Amino acid sequence: MEQEQHFDCLLFVFCFLFVFHLGLKFFCFFNYFQIHNLLGLCHEYSSSQLSFSAAVIEGKHNRPRRVANQIPDEILQDPELQEAIKALPANYNFEIHKTVWRVRQANSKRVALQLPEGLQMFACVIADIIERFTEADTIVMGDVTYGACCVDDFTARALGADFMVHYGHSCLIPIDSTAGIKMLYVFVDIQMDNAHFLDTVKFNFPPGQSLALVSTIQFVAALQAVSAALKPEYDVLVPQCRPLSPGEILGCTSPRLDRHVNAIIYLGDGRFHLESIMIANPDIPAYRYDPYSKVFTREYYDHEAMRALRLQAIDKARLAQRWGLILGTLGRQGSPKVLEHLESKLQSLGKSFTRVLLSEIFPSKLDLMSDVDAWIQIACPRLSIDWGTAFSKPLLSPYEVNIEGEIGQQPIKIHFKASVCLCAAAAAVASL
């Protein structure tokens, strides 16, 4: 009996272990299947995610790049705007599409337009276009504008403008320095007969010559195209005075060139800008190509006479007891920092002085202050160089005050990278 009970217990244990073993195998197999499926799903999910990521990355590379300030097609292809632009000369690029877009972007309410006298005939047309295709009204600033130094953002703000467009000059005054008003510079690129200019240069200079090409901002694009065409046969130099564009010169700002340069070729009308680089480089012959008349001429400058006159003015000013310090208020011509420097210099010498603010400097105006023995004008250096003899009292530039008698011994430094800045406009930039 005991043996049967013992056998039954063993049988029970054996059956229990057998069932437990089968259950364990089934459980393991089931979990393996579940885990395998789960891993498969994970693999498929990962693959799909990788494919999706790859598609996203590939899409980023293939998608056309967007430019933040790209002019929308609705403006570029506006037929009414295109028709309105036809009222302006076709070879003058006033960048009307860009102007309309920028004014709309800024949500501007009043736009100030500043143009040099040579472009003011187009001011009313441009103003009408802006008022028609934006929500802003316009004001045309009628004060004289001689150059890039005359950007009058102060007056524009005083007149309630929140946006200003300056035409015909490069951005000598940085756009981030005009606090309280948004700025847009329109160079007004002018199309010309590049082929005739190129042929003229080749006709007058043999291959291998070293030529320095300069211009005003209106013809810088043409200058670059012609310089590229000349480089296979000539040693072409397109000098740059930052922040100006390559090849651009101002009446007060020009580079000193290496003496190996055979000729300076100026592309533009008039002599004012050309004389700037001629003064800075008295030993290099200069030529001018007029893009309007298509006339090519050799230009000359009487350096000896100019130096003698300026030295005479400096010598006469040494005897002055009372000085007049003129701070130019035409746009950004004047530099308060230069004014402070000159005040300190005169105070250290025990000289008395009077401060005078003037937008434009005329002999008749200065003659009214007869107690002043000599003047220093912080406005335009060319005013002293070109018209100094028209004034009854010596009219010096800050540069001339600092160099004293050295003017007869070295070329006048007329660019703002000189050790002492002659260019009041550039000094104004440095003071911002």
Structural tokens at position 319: 């005897």
Q: Are 164 and 245 in a shared domain?
A: no
Tell me what pLDDT residue 69 has: 65
* pLDDT beyond 80 at 263: yes
**What CATH number does the domain containing 98 carry?**
3.40.50.11840
Is 333 part of any domain?
yes
Assign residue 378 the CATH number of its domain.
3.40.50.11860
CA angle 150, 154, 158 (to 5 degrees): 135
Q: Which of 283, 299, 315 is the last residue of a domain?
A: 299
Residue 10, pLDDT above cutoff 70: no
Quick check: is 142 in a domain? yes
CA distance 111 to 323: 40
Same domain, 97 and 164: yes
**Residue 205 shares a structural domain with residue 173:** no
Note whether residue 23 is domain-resident: no
Does residue 66 form part of some domain?
A: no
- 425 and 307 together in one domain: yes
Residues 13, 14, 15, 17, CA torsion sign: positive
Whether residues 157 and 176 share a domain: the answer is: yes
Average pLDDT over residues 194-205: 98
User: CA-to-CA distance for 285 and 301, rounded, in angstroms?
Assistant: 10
Give yes or no for residue 322 having a pLDDT over 80: yes
Place of tokens 């190509």: 289
Q: Give the β-pairing of 110-114 and 163-167.
A: parallel
Which of 282, 299, 316 corresponds to the end of one domain? 299
The structure tokens listed for 281 are 């480089």
In 3D space, the residue among 260, 98, 319 whose CA is nearest the CA of residue 188 turns out to be: 98
Residue pLDDT, tens place only, 85-110: 999 999 999 999 999 999 999 999 99
If one counts the domains in the chain, the total is: 3
Tokens of 256: 């000193």
How many residues in total does the chain contain?
432
Q: Note whether 325 and 417 are same-domain residues.
A: yes
Report long-range pairs for 304-311 (Cβ below 8 Å, ≥24 apart). Answer: 306/279, 306/385, 306/412, 307/407, 307/408, 307/412, 308/408, 309/388, 309/389, 310/384, 310/385, 310/388, 310/400, 310/407, 310/412, 311/405, 311/407, 311/408
* 389 domain residue, yes or no: yes
Assess whether 286 and 318 both reside in one domain. no
pLDDT of 290 > 80? The answer is yes
- For a pLDDT cut of 90, what percent of the chain falls above it? 69
Q: Report the distance separating Cα 421 and Cα 432, nearest Å.
A: 15
**Within a domain: 46:** no
* Spatial distance between the Cα atoms of 244 and 88, rounded to a whole number of angstroms: 27
Three-class SS state of 318:
coil
Q: Which domain holds residue 263?
A: 194-299
pTM assigned to the model: 0.77
Using a 10 angstrom Cβ sphere, with 0-12 exposed, 13-18 middle and 19 or more buried, the burial of residue 127 is middle
**Is the pLDDT score of 378 beyond 70?**
yes
Query: Which residues are within 8 A (CB) of 211 and not within 5 positions of it... i.e. 6 or more apart?
Result: 201, 205, 230, 234, 235, 236, 237, 261, 262, 263, 264, 265
Are 372 and 279 part of one and the same domain?
A: no
Q: Are residues 239 and 344 in the same domain?
A: no
Of 136, 170, 188, which residue sits at a domain end? 188
Cβ–Cβ < 8 Å for 242, 295: no
pLDDT of residue 23: 52
pLDDT for the residue 39: 34
In a domain, 368, yes or no: yes
Whether residue 310 is found in the same domain as residue 417 = yes
Helix (H) or strand (E) holding 24, with range, is helix 2-62
Is the predicted pLDDT of residue 127 greater than 90, yes or no?
yes
Asked whether 263 and 285 are in contact (CB, 8 A), the reply is yes
Are 92 and 152 contained in the same domain?
Answer: yes
User: How large a percentage of the chain has pLDDT more than 70?
Assistant: 77
In this model, does residue 77 exceed pLDDT 80? Answer: yes
- Same domain assignment for residues 184 and 207: no
Q: How are beta strands 295-299 and 286-290 bridged, if at all? A: antiparallel
**Has residue 276 been placed in a domain?**
yes
CATH of the domain at 210: 3.40.50.11850
